[in-house]
Structure 1
Amino acid sequence: MEYFDVARILTTHGLNGEVKVNVITDFPEERFAEGMHLSLRSDTNRTLTVEKSRPFKQFWLIQFKEITDIDQAEKLRGQILVVSEEDRGELPDGVYYYKDIFDCDVIDEETGKRIGKIVDIQSPGANDIWLVREDDGKEYWIPNIADVVKKVDVAAKKVYVELMEGLRDED
């Protein structure tokens, strides 16, 4: 079974076993919802059940049913919390997990020709930008917007695009 990182446990919070985490997911409300099952990357057989959680400054605080005091919580410091693929959930149309976009072939929708491969993703603002690397090593960023990204076929690992003028330097 595949697992996905959702948070890093930073420290304890209070005396009752609550932990402060640095979030590594775009969906903290879902991942840390009451009753959600998480595991430790170092021991995926150990399941932790979220009892309650809440945002705290730029972090989240999580209380697990299985962790009832500060001593137990202290042993979790530095651990990575993961969610199993089966608990990951479905995304709305047009929303993708980064792992599903990485290494996708980029195809020119008009010509059907392969342009390159997606090698990086950044989230600088309103939309993600994807770094395309051509076979000759040339790289450029494309925005993940409807005017550019026309279709994503996760199963085939292909992204069909219509490049706007100026996105790709033509030599």
Structure 2
Amino acid sequence: MEQYLQVGVISSTHGIRGEVKVYPTTDDVSRFKKLKKVILDTGKEQRSLEIEGVKFFKQFVILKFKGIDHINDIEKYKGKPLMVAREQAVTLARDEYFVADLIGLLAITDEGEELGTLVDVLETGANDVYVIGTPDHKELLLPAIKECILDVDMEGRKLLVHLMPGLR
């Protein structure tokens, strides 16, 4: 399991006083109001940043970090993810999982056939769609609905699925 979970990505600067526009990658955008710190993953290091201010603008969150007061101090981090420690993650309801934890699960049909590994989760309006990478380098798209996803075994790292007609 991942130690850190992504909550957003810095998309651009906002003004000249060190604020950034963040594209949220969390289902609960209001959680930014309660966050005190985030971890900036620069690719080379992880840097803890204290949040000084939070505003919302269209689909973005505008963040101001303590000690970063000029556009030049933050501009180099465009495109970099913002993370939180797992302990700071939102509480999940029953049968809800973090996408980072689902990636890599082995998909097995209710008939015992190994389909491949879950490589991505697509978020659609109606329901999520699990992308299964097959051994022959193709992708199988499975709707994340109870009729198709029968069981998620996080400890065993397996996904029990029922292939509905037309899914192959």
Q: Distance in 2 between matches of 1:34 and 1:121?
A: 27
Q: Distance in 1 between matches of 2:137 and 2:40?
A: 38
CA contact (8 A) 2:68 2:74 kept: no
2:91 aligned partner:
90
Q: Deviations over 1:98-150 (max 9, x none)?
A: 221222111223x3332322223212322111122333444321100111111
CA distance 1:68–1:8, change in 2 (3 Å): closer
Point out where structure 1 has 5 or more consecutive residues left out of the alignment: none
Post-superposition shift, 1:92?
1.7
1:28 aligned partner:
29
Percent identical across equivalent pairs? 30
TM-score (norm 2): 0.79
Aligned counterparts, 1:99-114, within 5 A: 99-109=100-110, 111-114=111-114
Letter in 2 for 1:158: K
Higher Rg: 1
CA contact (8 A) 1:33 1:50 kept: no
CA distance 1:53–1:151, change in 2 (3 Å): same
Q: Distance in 2 between matches of 1:47 and 1:120?
A: 28
Is 1:13 the counterpart of 2:11 in the alignment? no
Is 1:133 the counterpart of 2:138 in the alignment? no
Q: Distance in 1 between matches of 2:120 and 2:20?
A: 31
CA distance 1:120–1:19, change in 2 (3 Å): closer
- Decide which of 75, 78, 84 is 1:77's aligned counterpart: 75
Task: Extract structure 1 runs of 4+ deviating beyond 6 A.
Answer: none
TM-score (norm 1): 0.78
Point out where structure 2 has 5 or more consecutive residues left out of the alignment: none
CA distance 1:138–1:78, change in 2 (3 Å): same
Post-superposition shift, 1:14?
6.1
Post-superposition shift, 1:11?
0.2
Total equivalences in the alignment: 161
CA contact (8 A) 1:35 1:51 kept: no
RMSD: 2.5
CA contact (8 A) 2:130 2:144 kept: yes
CA contact (8 A) 2:5 2:100 kept: no
